[in-house]
Amino acid sequence: MSTLVLSEIYIYPIKSLGGISLTSAEVEERGLKYDRRWMLIDESGIFLTQRKLAGMALLQVSLAPEGLVVTHKTKDIPALVVPYETHSTRSTLVTVWDDICFAYIVSPEANAWFSEVLEISCRLVYMPENSIRLIDPNYAKHNEKVSFSDGYPFLVIGQESLNDLNSRLEQPVPINRFRPNFVFTGGLPYAEEKWKTFKIGNVLFYGAKPCGRCTVTTIDQNTAQASQEPLKTLSTYRKQGNKVIFGMNLIGLSTGTIAVGDRITVMEAAS
């Protein structure tokens, strides 16, 4: 069996905006540090996503000493700085899929910036530590909490899984279509979907369930243009029930720091 090595780490501080590649990251219960702790909501408090607003892909987030810096990938628009510490005390209820939890409205300035850039009335919110959003109890191990990600704190995809998909496509797609937290080299395509308990470095994870994919995978993250692929091809050989599967949703069973180059050790896998 080939050596499994963590090759890429990504976080997406503001849900559905551009991701950030890291060389190391802190594993927390809700996800990697800063991962999807911010989110855009509409006037009803419902989360915004590239599924309905593909232009969100063109907003790039980076980490700076003073906070998150948001820029536009194609337009010359002044950057927005979002401090890591939200001092706002204005809270509101927000909806992420079937979950409702509370969050802080970051600032009128952030709301105005995003509303102008995206041409839709929206607000930027932050999830504080005392906001509780739980993982689906059918898959949770210890009533774990999760950030604003779709349902689970972490997502892993094998490079061999992407290679196998791209071998079937006329135009290969990059990994950013799938918004993983972890990418690894080694092993067979889709091996990650059988992992039950495993370690990245010294941090323990549990494989909760394969990830059902949506139309975000069809949006080019550099142009916001949508097509039929790779969902069309994936649906021909990666269907479970009515879902198209690619990648594995994870729960963290411990915390700590992980880094690109860390070995992955699988302790238990489904046969």
pLDDT value of residue 88: 86
Q: What's the whole-number mean pLDDT along residues 223-229?
A: 95
Q: What's the whole-number mean pLDDT along residues 150-177?
A: 97
Tokens of 212: 């059902």
Q: Give the bridge partners for 123, in sequence order.
A: 41
Q: How many CB atoms are located within 10 Å of the residue 99 CB?
A: 16
Q: Is the pLDDT of residue 239 over 80?
A: yes
66 and 120 co-located in one domain:
yes
- Does the residue 59 lie in any domain? yes
Number of domains in the chain: 2
Sign of the Cα pseudo-torsion (109, 113, 114, 120, in order): positive
- Does the residue 100 lie in any domain? yes
Please give the residue range of the domain that contains residue 165: 5-14+25-31+135-269
| Alpha carbon distance 160, 259 (integer Å) | 20
Q: What's the whole-number mean pLDDT along residues 152-159?
A: 98
pLDDT value of residue 1: 63
Band of pLDDT at residue 2, cut at 50, 70 and 90: confident
- Does the residue 205 lie in any domain? yes
| Alpha carbon distance 35, 177 (integer Å) | 17
Answer with the one of 95, 126, 157 that is the final residue of a domain: 126
Instruction: For residue 123, give the DSSP letter.
Output: E
Q: Is the pLDDT of residue 237 over 90?
A: yes
pLDDT value of residue 212: 96
Structural contact between residues 247 and 234, judged by C-beta atoms closer than 8 angstroms: no
Sign of the Cα pseudo-torsion (5, 61, 86, 216, in order): negative
pLDDT value of residue 271: 81
pLDDT value of residue 26: 98
Q: What's the whole-number mean pLDDT along residues 129-154?
A: 95
Band of pLDDT at residue 191, cut at 50, 70 and 90: very high
Structural contact between residues 68 and 38, judged by C-beta atoms closer than 8 angstroms: yes
188 and 263 co-located in one domain:
yes
Summarize pLDDT for 57-79 with one digit per residue, the tens.
Answer: 999 999 999 999 999 999 899 99
Structural contact between residues 192 and 247, judged by C-beta atoms closer than 8 angstroms: yes
